[in-house]
């Protein structure tokens, strides 16, 4: 969608058409589009129907706000979920920041959260159509202004005018004009390939102490700047970002994890993951405790499995595996607990026999620290769910003392 079509959709006839559309229904969308072409320009109808479909998808991220917003497919996929954006905004507000330059604002998700806390927002995006979409999405907040420009073209306030200034960057991690095999804009993963680059992001942080940047969950631990906080955040178990915070925006220097859901947020820090005096990893499979714990993925991404081991007085199964065992049962808000039913070295023949002898004909497979194809393993174990009256087992394939092992566990 080009900038001209954004303008048509955001005003007058286009906006009236868009707001008049019923809730999106894939089964009737084509028929509706054909009928609308009798009264409206076909290009406008196609654009409005695309927006209707995107709004339906966006409800998961934006709730009721989605019904009054404009989107692009890539913009929606990359946009910060509104509750996570609210956490970003509270960082700035708690640091007495009053004006935020949102460089690389995308469709304006974070800028909406900033403006919602009465911060003055200067949003910038390098793509003209995206900047217009952000302007439409921010139209309810007079304190927010959107400009079409690159981050390196922005002149930040200096001196006294910068006293309450904050900078938020969401570097582009996609290559414009190049699509992957699924038709989505190709992603980049190198810190040098993002735009602005990691070096440029750090330059902004050097000039403006209250700086934050949204980066990929694959952000390397070794790249965390001295004195900054890198927080990996998850939503309902899915890791959605790593945000790096400098200066007064850093609440806990080093790596942290925020485990977020609609009901609660739990933050885990490096201090909680300090090595205990016991054995750092399980010496052998015979030392496995009765209980098996799986931390939230944000905790694993942040390299903070040690916090779980400390919380349950347990031991990580293997270096970097992320699973913990303990002889005792604990309720941990950011980890799942299972009872260990069986543990054995990984032998497909022995495991298949054990599962079938106990009436299982299908399995849920969890794996970490090993390379295997879960679907292939199911077929090898003959766990395809084709039996009658069978049950499902939860199978964990991982490493203990350098060897592949299989654990059968049950939720507790």
pLDDT at position 161 is: 84
Query: Contact, 143 vs 112, CB < 8 A?
Result: no
Query: Which residue ranges of the chain lie beneath pLDDT 70?
Result: 174-189, 276-279, 386-389
Residues 6+ apart with CB under 8 A from 88: 80, 110, 113, 114, 168, 212, 214, 243
Scan for tokens 């910060």, then name that residue.
80
User: Do 76-269 and 285-411 come out as alike in CATH topology?
Assistant: no
Q: How many residues does the chain have?
A: 412
Q: How far apart are CA 174 and CA 304, in angstroms?
A: 29
Using alpha carbons, select from 375, 410, 382 the residue that is nearest to residue 396. Answer: 410
List phi, psi (to 5°) of 217. Answer: -60, -20
**Residue 90 CB coordination number (10 Å):** 12
Q: With contact defined as beta carbons under 8 Å apart, do 167 and 246 qualify?
A: no
Residue among 172, 176, 234 nearest 198 (CA)? 172
- Record the pTM: 0.92
Which architecture characterizes domain 285-411 according to CATH?
Answer: 2-Layer Sandwich (3.30)
Supply the pLDDT for residue 205.
97
Instruction: Determine the pLDDT at residue 316.
Output: 95
Q: Which two tokens stand for residue 113?
A: 């959260």
Q: What is the pLDDT of residues 5-62, one digit of tens each?
A: 999 999 999 999 999 999 999 999 999 999 999 999 999 999 999 999 999 999 999 9
CATH number of 76-269: 3.40.50.150
pLDDT per residue as tens digits for the range 122-161: 999 999 999 999 999 999 999 999 999 999 999 999 888 8
Domain ranges of the chain: 3-60, 76-269, 285-411
């Amino acid at each position: 969608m080009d900038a001209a079509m954004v303008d048509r959709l955001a005003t007058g006839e286009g906006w009236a058409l868009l707001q008049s559309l019923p809730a999106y229904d894939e089964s009737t969308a084509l028929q509706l589009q054909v009928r609308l072409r009798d009264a409206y320009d076909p290009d406008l109808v196609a654009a409005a129907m695309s927006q209707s479909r995107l709004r339906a998808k966006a409800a998961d991220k934006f709730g009721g706000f989605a019904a009054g917003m404009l989107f692009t497919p890539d913009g929606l996929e990359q946009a910060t979920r509104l509750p996570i954006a609210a956490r970003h905004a509270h960082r700035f507000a708690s640091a007495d920041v009053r004006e935020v330059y949102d460089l690389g604002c995308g469709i304006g998700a974070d800028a909406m959260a900033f403006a919602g806390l009465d911060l003055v927002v200067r949003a910038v995006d390098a793509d003209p159509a995206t900047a217009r979409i952000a302007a439409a999405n921010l139209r309810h907040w007079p304190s927010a202004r959107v400009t079409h420009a690159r981050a390196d073209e922005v002149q930040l306030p200096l001196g006294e005018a910068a006293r309450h200034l904050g900078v938020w960057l969401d570097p582009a991690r996609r290559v414009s004009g190049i699509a992957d095999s699924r038709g989505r804009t190709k992603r980049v993963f190198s810190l040098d390939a993002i735009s602005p680059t990691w070096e440029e992001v750090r330059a902004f942080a050097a000039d403006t102490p209250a700086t934050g940047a949204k980066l990929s969950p694959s952000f390397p631990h070794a790249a965390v700047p001295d004195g900054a906080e890198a927080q990996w955040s998850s939503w309902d178990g899915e890791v959605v970002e790593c945000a790096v915070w400098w200066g007064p925006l850093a609440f806990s220097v080093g790596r942290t994890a925020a485990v977020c859901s609609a009901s609660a947020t739990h933050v885990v820090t490096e201090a909680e993951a300090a090595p205990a005096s016991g054995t750092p990893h399980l010496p052998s499979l015979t030392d496995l405790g009765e209980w098996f714990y799986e931390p939230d993925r944000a905790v694993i991404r942040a390299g903070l499995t040690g916090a779980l081991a400390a919380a349950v007085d347990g031991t990580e199964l293997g270096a970097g595996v992320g699973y913990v065992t303990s002889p005792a049962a604990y309720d941990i808000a950011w980890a799942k607990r299972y009872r260990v039913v069986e543990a054995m070295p990984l032998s497909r023949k022995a495991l298949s026999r054990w599962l079938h002898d106990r009436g299982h004909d299908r399995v849920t497979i969890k794996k970490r620290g090993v390379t295997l194809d879960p679907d292939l393993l199911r077929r090898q174990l003959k766990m395809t769910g084709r039996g009658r009256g069978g049950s499902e087992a939860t199978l964990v394939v991982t490493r203990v003392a350098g060897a592949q092992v299989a654990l059968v566990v049950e939720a507790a």
